[in-house]
Amino acid sequence: MSGAADFDTYRLSEDHEAVREAVRALAEDKIKPFAAQVDEESRYPQEAHDALVAADFFAPHVPEQYGGVGADALATCIVIEEVARVCASSSLIPAVNKLGSMPLLLAGSEELKGRYLPPLARGESTFSYGLSEREAGSDTAAMRTRAVREGEDWVLSGQKSWITNAGVSQYYTVLAVTDPEGRRGNNVTAFVVEQSDEGFSVGEKERKLGIKGSPTRELHFDSCRIPGDRVVGEVGAGLKLALATLDHTRVTIGAQAVGIAQGALDEALAYVKERRQFGRAVAEFQGVQFMLADMAMQLEAARQLVYVAAAKSERGEPDLPFFGAAAKAFASDVAMRVTTDAVQLLGGAGYTRDFPLERMMRDAKITQIYEGTNQVQRIVMARQLLGG
Amino acid at 230: R
CA angle 204/31/330 to nearest 5° reads 75
205 and 43 Cβ atoms separated by less than 8 Å: no
Cα-to-chain-centroid distance, residue 246: 10
Q: Which of these, 263, 284, 264, 261, lies nearest to 274 by C-alpha position?
A: 284
Whether 164 contacts 189, CB under 8 Å = no
Active-site residue, selected from the candidate residues 133, 267, 358, 371: 371
Identify the bridge partners of residue 7 per DSSP, sorted by sequence position. none
CA distance 255 to 304: 10
Is residue 371 annotated as a catalytic residue, yes or no? yes
Residue of 188, 75, 73, 58 lying closest to 126 (CA atoms): 58
Q: Which helix (H) or strand (E) holds 154?
A: strand 153-164
Q: Which of 92, 121, 91 is nearest to 104 (CA)?
A: 121
Q: C-alpha 211: how far from its chain's center?
A: 12
Active site residues: 371
